[in-house]
């Protein structure tokens, strides 16, 4: 999967510390199935470099690869939703503003809104989710991605939380 | 963090069209999203005129299906809740909690579970043994006594549950309720062999609600 190739390339080029990597880098394979969805990312000096996940306070994440952002929901969100049975996604070409609702996930008889982390245009939707919506639960950071979109305002990425800030944020929700 | 019990205002609407109740829910949702301090948690209780409603999964119910059901004398509505097709009508107690889950627990999965547990508790007050199953809702054996389908936006809930009290169950013959083939529907009246109107169910439902959600109820 393209994502794996990008990360392997990035890890070879950066000597940044990897404080959260308690497992070898080959964790980022396409074979994630039953293992818990624990986030592993590379710390970079800029959030605009590919590979780093940024998070909204509504639990969507965006991963930048060049000029395209891939969007999904976090492990915290998929656990709080329960088994996803349906993904209501927008059409390719839909223009979204940051924080605009772009769809809904249905789980356990509940439909929850999805919010766009960035301003841009939808370029691709994950058609695998039509037959396999459970991918959102099983692999929320990989095969369970929701949409890809252009990044009209790259500065918006700086407003989002990096992984450490997001981990802190979800801890504060429990109190 | 909410210290002490959350307060929930009970609003009894009596007979109200599905469309009007939806509008009212939208107003309450807006109040939640607009207010900066205390969240006006509300529990709307009502009965609808005969109506079939569906959720965000629209594909199984094309316009022909809509026409077919309308020809039977019911209204038809496409909503933004989860769940497939169900029926609402006289004799069915419909409960729409418009809550801010931040006052309780920020998990939709937990919320649906609690609604199910609450209805089971209420059924036991009637001497009915109800349970959950892999299919959402509250069941007496293979028959669903209460349907559940909710929507959540920024932790504000809407839609809710529909408990059959003395509903005319023949309306359900026209559909596959909640898309679940091979299972049936039932009501409090059917289970108890006597007429149980919604008025009788309301106080028991409210009691179960305060217990399950650990909240206090206020009335206007």
User: What's the confidence (pLDDT) of residue B35?
Assistant: 73
**Considering only CB atoms, which chain B residues are within 8 Å of A111?**
55-56, 80-82, 150-152
The answer on pLDDT for B188 being more than 60 is: yes
User: What's the confidence (pLDDT) of residue B38?
Assistant: 60
Token output for B130 = 């109800």
Question: What burial class does residue B15 get, using C-beta atoms within 10 Å of its C-beta: 0-12 exposed, 13-18 middle, 19+ buried?
Answer: exposed
Give exposure, A138-153, as e/b (b: 16+ Cβ within 10 Å): bbbbbbbbbbbbebee
Across residues A113-121, what is the average pLDDT? 96
Query: pLDDT tens digit string along B98-132?
Result: 999 989 998 888 999 999 999 999 999 999 999 99
Query: pLDDT tens digit string along A133-160?
Result: 999 999 999 999 999 999 999 999 999 9
| Tally of residues, chain B | 220
Across residues B64-75, what is the average pLDDT? 96
The answer on pLDDT for A12 being more than 60 is: no
In 3D, which of A144, A69, A132, A57 has the Cα closest to residue A99? A57
More confident residue, B180 or B17: B17
User: What's the confidence (pLDDT) of residue A32?
Assistant: 36
In 3D, which of B194, B187, B91 has the Cα closest to residue B138? B187
Q: What secondary structure, in 3-state letters, does B50-79 show?
A: CEEEECCCCCCCCHHHHHHHHCCCCEEEEC
Task: Pick the residue from chain A with its C-alpha nearest to B151.
Answer: A111
Q: Which of B95, B103, B123, B178 is catalytic?
A: B178
User: What's the confidence (pLDDT) of residue B182?
Assistant: 81
First to last CA, chain A: 38
- Percent of chain B scored above 70 by pLDDT? 96
User: Strand, helix or coil at A75?
Assistant: helix
User: What's the confidence (pLDDT) of residue A135?
Assistant: 97
Contacting A with CB below 8 Å, chain B residues are 1, 55-57, 80-83, 106-112, 136-137, 148-154
- Please, what is the average pLDDT of chain B? 92
Query: pLDDT tens digit string along B4-18?
Result: 788 999 999 999 999
User: What's the confidence (pLDDT) of residue A8?
Assistant: 35
Beta strand spans in A36-136 (E)? 53-55, 60-65, 68-73, 84-88, 95-96, 101-107, 110-115, 120-125
Across residues B11-27, what is the average pLDDT? 95
Across residues B159-169, what is the average pLDDT? 97
Mutate: best of A84, A108, A115, partner B, most B CBs <10 A: A108
- Percent of chain A scored above 70 by pLDDT? 69
**Considering only CB atoms, which chain A residues are within 8 Å of B81?**
109-111
Predicted TM-score (pTM) of the model is: 0.78
User: What's the confidence (pLDDT) of residue B106?
Assistant: 87
User: Strand, helix or coil at A137?
Assistant: helix
Mutate: best of B55, B80, B82, B86, partner A, most A CBs <10 A: B82
- Please, what is the average pLDDT of chain A? 77
B95 is catalytic: no
The answer on pLDDT for B172 being more than 50 is: yes
Q: Distance (Å) from the C-alpha of residue A78 to the closest C-alpha of chain B?
A: 10
Indicate which CATH number applies to the domain containing B15: 3.30.930.10
The answer on pLDDT for B61 being more than 80 is: yes
Please report, for chain A, the start and end positions of each structural domain, with discontinuous segments joined by +: 55-153
User: What's the confidence (pLDDT) of residue B3?
Assistant: 56
pLDDT band at A108 (very low <50, low <70, confident <90, very high): confident
Query: pLDDT tens digit string along A23-62?
Result: 333 333 333 334 444 444 444 444 444 468 999 999 999 9
Range of the domain at B57: 7-219
Cβ neighbours, 10 Å, residue B4: 8
Q: Count of domains in chain B?
A: 1
Across residues B208-216, what is the average pLDDT? 95
The answer on pLDDT for B39 being more than 80 is: no
Token output for B168 = 């005319």
Q: Which long-range contacts (CB under 8 A, 24 or more apart) does B55-63 make?
A: B55/A106, B55/A111, B55/B79, B55/B80, B55/B81, B55/B82, B55/B83, B55/B84, B55/B149, B56/A86, B56/A88, B56/A104, B56/A106, B56/A111, B56/B80, B56/B81, B56/B82, B57/A86, B57/A106, B57/B84, B60/B84, B60/B85, B60/B179, B61/B85
The answer on pLDDT for A10 being more than 60 is: no
**A79 vs B: CB within 8 A:** yes
| Tally of residues, chain A | 175
Token output for A42 = 């590379």
More confident residue, B139 or B3: B139
> Is the Cβ pair A110, B112 closer than 8 Å?
yes
Identify the CATH class of A55-153. mainly beta
Task: Pick the residue from chain B with its C-alpha nearest to A172.
Answer: B1
């Amino acid at each position: 999967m393209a994502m794996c190739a990008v990360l392997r390339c990035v890890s070879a080029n950066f000597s940044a510390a990897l404080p959260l990597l308690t497992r070898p880098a080959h964790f980022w394979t396409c074979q994630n199935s039953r293992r818990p969805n624990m986030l592993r990312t590379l710390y970079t000096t800029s959030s605009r470099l590919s590979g780093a996940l940024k998070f909204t306070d509504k639990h969507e994440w965006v991963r930048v690869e060049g000029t395209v952002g891939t969007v999904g929901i976090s492990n915290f969100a998929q656990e709080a939703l329960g088994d996803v049975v349906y993904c209501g996604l927008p059409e390719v070409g839909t223009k979204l503003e940051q924080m605009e609702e772009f769809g809904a996930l249905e789980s356990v008889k509940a439909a929850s809104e999805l919010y766009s982390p960035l301003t841009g245009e939808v370029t691709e939707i994950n058609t695998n989710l039509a037959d396999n919506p459970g991918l959102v639960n099983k692999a929320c950071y990989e095969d369970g991605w929701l949409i890809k979109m252009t990044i009209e305002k790259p500065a918006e990425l700086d407003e989002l939380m990096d992984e450490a800030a997001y981990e802190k944020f979800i801890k504060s929700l429990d109190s | 963090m909410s210290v002490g019990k959350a307060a929930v205002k009970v609003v009894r609407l009596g007979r109200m069209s599905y469309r009007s109740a939806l509008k009212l829910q939208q107003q309450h949702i807006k109040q939640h999203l607009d207010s900066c301090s205390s969240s006006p948690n509300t529990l709307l209780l009502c009965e609808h005129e005969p109506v079939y409603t569906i959720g965000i999964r629209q594909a199984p119910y094309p316009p022909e299906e809509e026409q077919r059901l309308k020809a039977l004398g019911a209204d038809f509505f496409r909503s933004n809740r989860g769940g497939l097709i169900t029926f609402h009508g006289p004799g069915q107690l419909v409960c729409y909690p418009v809550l801010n889950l931040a006052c309780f627990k920020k998990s939709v999965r937990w919320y649906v579970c609690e609604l199910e547990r609450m209805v089971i508790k209420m059924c036991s007050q009637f001497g009915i043994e109800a349970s959950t199953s892999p299919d959402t809702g509250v069941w007496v054996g293979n028959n669903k006594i209460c349907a559940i389908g909710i929507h959540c936006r920024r932790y504000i809930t809407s839609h809710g549950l529909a408990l059959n009290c003395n509903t005319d169950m023949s309306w359900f013959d026209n559909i596959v309720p909640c898309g679940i083939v091979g299972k049936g529907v039932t009501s409090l009246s059917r289970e108890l062999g006597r007429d149980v109107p919604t008025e009788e169910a309301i106080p028991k439902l409210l009691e179960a609600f305060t217990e399950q959600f650990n909240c206090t109820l206020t009335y206007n």
